[in-house]
A = this chain, B = another copy of it.
């Protein structure tokens, strides 16, 4: 049922309060996005952060100050159409809500950034295992020792998601995800996790640990959580993001954003 909902119908369910859960697996084949909202005074700096770090922060859409209807989802309203939002004040998580109509004003700018759900479908279609989906878990995410290029007051380490697979599958996964350059693209690293500052793969910083089988290596992709860390790094009075796994679902199909 969930898979068959169109994006518009799914957003309607979310807006009316009938859907408050994660969006993984919902409206399969349509692009889902990370959401970041912040004051227009810092919008240039944050947009610059995204432009300078396209692998973790690939830009799907940026709205003008006060606007709530994305070009990639006509009729949608970003104040109500995300299942769960996080409210950060001065860099600290204050609470989670399902509607931000009271908080959003004409000085806020909204960013929609690509998410790895798009290429996970493509990996599955190519016969590559996606362990977190097999185990019914959230993907494992880690804060690395790599630093993003900063922009103005925004800075962040690179956050990566990890999927275990054989070396042969890693080659194929690199080919498959290269096409999805607006949803994180090719891996940023594979093999030794120590080299990018990850001490223990069984203890992810976000999400759940998954089994790594014999002969499998960890393969790492840039992760959209980087954008949340960057947005909250500036200790702004107000930043609004989606809650992890509770994404905005657009009308764009995964295949609309491939390069080849």
Contact = CB atoms under 8 A, between A and B. Distances in A.
A97 interface: no
A9 interface: no
Contact of A178 (B43, B47, B64, B260): B260
A191 to B, nearest CB: 22
* Copies of this chain in the oligomer: 2
Nearest to A152: B64
A149 B71 CA distance: 10
A48 interface: yes
Contacts of A47: 44, 47-48, 51
Interface string A43-60: 111011001100000010
Interface in A133-189: 149, 151-152, 178, 181
A259 B181 contact: yes
Nearest to A40: B44
A71 B44 CA distance: 18
